[in-house]
């Protein structure tokens, strides 16, 4: 039996197109030498500590390659390519890459000295602008050296179809929750024979021809498959009905629903989580509400920079995970959480970018989010094709394109938001100092936002269309300005 892409994975795969990409990732930052002079007593204390505990392995390019080679056994798809079936007779299949070359996927890059955060973001922007090579496994990783004070970074880039259904992104695969390096037993991997186009076509036809027989047997034997078929039809109409409901209350026109180029920009910003929690407690709302209000204020400042008269409208519509409404003001710091999730139920809410008062803006954000998280008109399941169970690719591809067209009208900006803080992470024993999500930006969108809580900070990652938002550094400044407005308001 062919290892076929699931309907949702196939939709993600076919969502790529001209000027659109469906990959995402993360930026992991590691501190370098601060350059400060050390006292003799501190050096002696450090020497004693090191005598008791050996230094972690060197995190250089060869070390990173060895780590990934050891961990690939946890994510077999990262050695597989997507093979399409001739004539679109079925969804594509996962097949071993017979020419798998890990050095193609893991790359080394450097920044001009001194490497600033702006230099790093410019490199991330260029990497995320390039589509992945579809003839190879759909992921890349970069070890980026040359940051200020000897620091460095790791950038991961994975196609969404690798992660749909609960798969791990490569940044999560290489990280440990403890400094000790978890080394797996040696994995001897040999690629299987590549499937031939004829065998794939015959297999697809065989699967299609088997379905009528299964249906007849189920009707005669009474094993309930007819009921499942009825459920399939009903489920498809329910999904279509939910989309129609959302489209009757479609998102307001916005620059955020335009696409100016296929070039991406990435920018990041962080604010202290403790102070955000104080703002939430003072205003009797959640940390997630404050995060959303900061995003709202940042978008307001950006829209004012494009239209000083404020003719851009009162609201921007955002889609975010339904789980974001379950986070309290004081979330547990040690709660386990992944930082890239793709299959959560979502809801659509309005961000009051037309409101000038930051506290009123926060109150409106919290009130609207609470209301719409309970509304059947605003809540939808994870993204999936309209005709998800159909195996024939012409229908699946049409479903993906139809979803992209209809989904574009439902909201202006997607927000990927974690619900609890991420515990400390280590790569080869080296602690990650900062972590930012790089959200995917699909066709018809000018901005996507990723939010995660890590190491006492809330990190915002923004992927934007350079044709619409050509200066990503402005977004960083606007986040800080929006945060300070909330912190200073009483």
Hey, where are the domains in the chain?
Answer: 7-33+56-198, 248-416+442-488
pLDDT at 86: 76
Greater confidence, 8 or 119?
Answer: 119
pLDDT at 25: 97
Tens of pLDDT, residues 281-339: 999 999 999 999 999 999 999 999 988 776 678 999 999 998 887 644 444 444 446 78
Confidence category of residue 33, pLDDT binned at 50, 70, 90: low
pLDDT at 178: 93
Q: CA torsion 206→207→213→217, rounded to 10°?
A: 140
Average pLDDT of span 16-35:
80
Q: What is the DSSP string of 232-296?
A: HHHHHHHHHHHHHHHHTTPPPP-GGG----S-EEEEEEEEEHHHHHHHHHHTTS-HHHHHHHHHH
C-alpha 455/C-alpha 463 separation (Å) is: 22
Which CATH number applies to 248-416+442-488? 3.30.559
Instruction: Please provide the average confidence, as pLDDT, over all residues in the chain.
Output: 81
Greater confidence, 485 or 344?
Answer: 485
Ranking 36-40, 80-84, 124-128, 452-456 by mean pLDDT, the lowest is 36-40
Q: Note whether 7-33+56-198 and 248-416+442-488 share their fold.
A: yes
Whether 472 shows a pLDDT value over 90: the answer reads: no
Provide the whole-model pTM.
Answer: 0.85
75 SS3 class: coil
The CATH number fitting domain 7-33+56-198, selected from 3.30.559.10, 3.30.1440.10, 3.40.50.300, 3.40.50.720: 3.30.559.10
Whether 362 shows a pLDDT value over 80: the answer reads: yes
DSSP 8-class letter at 74: G
Greater confidence, 203 or 368?
Answer: 368
C-alpha 446/C-alpha 265 separation (Å) is: 10
């Amino acid at each position: 039996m062919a290892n076929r892409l699931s309907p949702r994975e196939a939709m993600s795969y076919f969502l790529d197109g001209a000027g659109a990409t469906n990959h995402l990732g993360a930026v992991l930052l590691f501190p370098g030498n601060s350059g400060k002079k050390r006292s003799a007593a501190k050096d002696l204390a450090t020497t004693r500590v090191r005598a008791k505990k050996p230094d972690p392995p060197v995190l250089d390019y060869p070390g990173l390659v060895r780590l990934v080679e050891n961990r690939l056994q946890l994510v077999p798809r990262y050695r597989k390519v997507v093979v399409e079936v001739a004539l679109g007779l079925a969804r594509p299949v996962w097949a071993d890459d017979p020419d798998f070359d890990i050095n193609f996927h893991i790359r080394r890059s450097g920044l001009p000295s001194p490497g600033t955060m702006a230099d790093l973001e410019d490199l991330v922007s260029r990497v995320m602008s390039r589509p992945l090579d579809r003839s190879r496994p759909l992921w890349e990783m970069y070890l980026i050296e040359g940051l200020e004070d000897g620091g460095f970074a790791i950038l991961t880039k994975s196609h969404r179809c690798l992660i749909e259904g609960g798969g791990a992104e490569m940044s999560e695969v290489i990280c440990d929750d403890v400094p000790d390096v978890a080394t797996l037993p040696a994995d001897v991997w040999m690629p299987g024979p590549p499937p031939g186009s004829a065998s794939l076509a015959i297999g697809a036809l065989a699967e299609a021809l088997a379905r009528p027989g299964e249906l007849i047997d189920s009707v005669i034997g009474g094993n309930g498959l007819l009921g499942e078929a009825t459920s399939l039809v009903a489920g498809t109409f329910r999904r279509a009905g939910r989309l129609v409901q959302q489209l009757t209350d479609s998102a307001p026109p916005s620059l955020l629903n335009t696409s100016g180029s296929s070039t991406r920009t990435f920018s990041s910003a962080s604010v202290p989580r403790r102070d955000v929690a104080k703002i939430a407690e003072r205003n009797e709302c959640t940390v997630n509400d404050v995060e959303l209000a900061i995003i709202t204020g940042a978008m307001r400042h950006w829209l004012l920079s494009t239209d000083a008269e404020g003719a851009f409208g009162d609201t921007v519509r955002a889609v975010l995970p339904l789980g974001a409404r379950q986070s309290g003001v004081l979330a547990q710091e040690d709660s386990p959480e992944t930082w890239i999730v793709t299959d959560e139920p979502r809801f659509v809410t309005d961000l009051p970018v037309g409101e000038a008062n930051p506290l009123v803006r926060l109150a409106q954000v919290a009130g609207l989010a609470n209301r719409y998280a309970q509304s059947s008109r605003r809540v939808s399941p994870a993204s999936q094709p309209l005709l998800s169970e159909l195996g024939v690719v012409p229908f699946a591809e049409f479903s993906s394109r139809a979803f992209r067209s209809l989904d574009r009208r439902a909201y202006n900006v997607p927000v990927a938001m974690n619900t609890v803080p991420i515990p400390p992470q280590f790569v080869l024993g080296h602690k990650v100092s900062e972590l930012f999500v790089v959200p995917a930006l699909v066709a018809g969108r000018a901005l996507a936002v990723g939010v995660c809580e890590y190491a006492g900070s809330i990190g915002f990652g923004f992927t934007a269309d350079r044709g619409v938002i050509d200066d990503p550094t402005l977004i960083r400044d606007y986040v800080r300005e929006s945060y300070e407005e909330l912190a200073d308001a009483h």
